[in-house]
Amino acid sequence: MTTDVLAPGTGASPPPFSTEGGRRPRTRRWLVAALVTAVVLLVGSVVGTITWTRGGAGTSTGTSWSGSYGGMMGGRVSTRVPALPGTTVRVSAVDMGAMMGGRSGMRLTVSRGSVPAGTVSLVLANLGFRTHELVVLPLASDQQVGERAVGSDGTVDETGSLGEASQTAGSGTGEGIQPGTAGWTTLDLPAGRYELICNLPGHYAAGMFAELTVS
Ligand SMILES: [Cu+2]
């Protein structure tokens, strides 16, 4: 964007819509308007956004990523994720920190809702302010995500878990994935429906679940 667009005192009206000379400035003004709208939407959004950049074509330097949650509330993931086998599903965890009562606005979102059966690598990026984790549970055919019974300790039964990513900047099981980091796991998933959850106390009930279909 050129600075003259934003500079004060340069509010010259665009030429009439119908003139040819008006096309370029008008297009640019629309672009600026669209950009401003996008920024406003981003700031007001409760959905985290993530940008992945490959570590270089043809190299195995892995993937680094950054993301933001709600724009001005920040939330970057600096962990360098290695190249992982199989189909990769990127899962982002967001929360509102201590704002809005603490536990509202906790979410898990997946980069894709379905994957082919076989080797699947799940990467959890923690864009929130709290520690999170990712546990993979099977879903019965008549079961929907978010319906599991929550125990008095705030967690759900993990019986039948196919695996989890709960290690900060590492693979597999650990003590939880700290804010601003990522953790991952690689699983062999047969066809079926799965529920990806964060099972730290209170987090499932607060909305940290997402569905993944394997076919
Ligand atoms: Cu969580």
- The Å distance, Cα 103 to ligand 1 centre, comes to 9
- The Å distance, Cα 136 to ligand 1 centre, comes to 13
- The Å distance, Cα 39 to ligand 1 centre, comes to 27
Each residue's pLDDT tens digit, 153-189: 999 999 999 999 999 999 999 999 999 999 999 999 9
- The Å distance, Cα 120 to ligand 1 centre, comes to 21
- The Å distance, Cα 41 to ligand 1 centre, comes to 25
Average pLDDT (133-146) is 97
- The Å distance, Cα 143 to ligand 1 centre, comes to 21
Query: Average model confidence (pLDDT) for the chain?
Result: 78
Architecture of the domain spanning 48-214 = Sandwich (2.60)
Pairing of strands 209-214, 114-115: parallel
In the chain, what percentage of residues exceed pLDDT 90?
57
* Secondary structure of residue 40 in the 3-state scheme: helix
- The Å distance, Cα 204 to ligand 1 centre, comes to 7
Beta strands in the chain (DSSP E): 48-54, 63-69, 80-81, 87-94, 107-110, 114-115, 118-126, 134-139, 163-165, 182-189, 192-197, 209-214
Question: In this structure, what token pair is assigned to residue 56?
Answer: 């270089």
Beta strands in 127-173 (DSSP E): 134-139, 163-165
Band (pLDDT 50/70/90 cuts) for residue 143 is very high
What does residue 41 show for φ and ψ, rounded to 5 degrees? -65, -40
Whether 144 shows a pLDDT value over 80: the answer reads yes
- The Å distance, Cα 215 to ligand 1 centre, comes to 27
Non-local CB neighbours of 190 within 8 Å, separated by 6+ positions: 117, 214
Residue with tokens 């993301």: 67
- The Å distance, Cα 197 to ligand 1 centre, comes to 8
Burial label, 65 (beta-carbon count in 10 A; 0-12, 13-18, 19+)? buried
**Side chain identity at residue 67, one-letter code:** G
Strands across the sheet containing 48-54: 48-54, 63-69, 80-81
- The Å distance, Cα 174 to ligand 1 centre, comes to 14
Higher-scoring residue by pLDDT: 32, 94: 94
Each residue's pLDDT tens digit, 37-52: 554 444 333 344 455 5
Each residue's pLDDT tens digit, 95-137: 876 565 555 679 999 999 999 999 999 999 999 989 999 999 9
Pairing of strands 134-139, 107-110: unpaired
Model confidence, pTM: 0.69
- The Å distance, Cα 116 to ligand 1 centre, comes to 26
- The Å distance, Cα 167 to ligand 1 centre, comes to 13
Q: Quote the CA–CA distance of 138 and 204 in Å, as a whole number.
A: 15
Domain ranges of the chain: 3-44, 48-214
- The Å distance, Cα 18 to ligand 1 centre, comes to 54
Contact 198, 107 (CB under 8 A): no
- For residue 38, count other CB atoms closer than 10 A to its CB: 10
Band (pLDDT 50/70/90 cuts) for residue 30 is low
